[in-house]
Amino acid sequence: MSNSVDLVFIRELQVNTIIGVYDWEREVRQVVVLDLEMAADNKRAAASDDIADALNYAAVSTRLMEFIENSQFQLIETMAEQVAAIVLSEFKVPWLRLRLCKPGAVAQAKDVGILIERGERP
């Protein structure tokens, strides 16, 4: 018998926020981009065809956009940890992988950022 893992994902969620360590970064809003994979057991939702039984990616997206838009972090590392904590606690997700990018932070690169995994891996 094989173990199966279900993932719910959000790709390239773009949010404007105050982020950065330089003085000019504290005065302008910049775009951050999130890719999020979340472990979820989709069997119940598949059987019921009811959003109440699913990990609602729209609700996760809305919560994270509101949080990030109203934040003023210096480091994306701090933002990533707090985003992960919200998803793990508020949406009862056992494991997640978050890629958080800051496009334009290095002129010669498309984007730069971090990739973290938190929680119990399925």
Active site amino acids:
102
Per-10-residue mean pLDDT for the chain, 122 residues long?
Answer: 80 97 92 97 94 96 98 97 98 97 92 96 78
Q: What is the CATH number of the domain that holds 112?
A: 3.30.1130.10
1 part of a folded domain:
no
Residue 101 lies in a domain: yes
Residue 2 lies in a domain: no
CA distance 14 to 89: 22
- Kindly state whether residue 63 falls inside one of the protein's structural domains: yes
Residue 16 lies in a domain: yes
Domain region containing 111:
7-119
Q: Does residue 87 belong to any structural domain of this protein?
A: yes
Contact in structure between 114 and 76 (CB atoms under 8 Å) = yes
As for how many domains the chain has, the answer is: 1
Phi–psi pair at 32, nearest 5 degrees: -115, 150
Name beta bridge partners: 96: 38, 118
What pLDDT does residue 100 have? 98
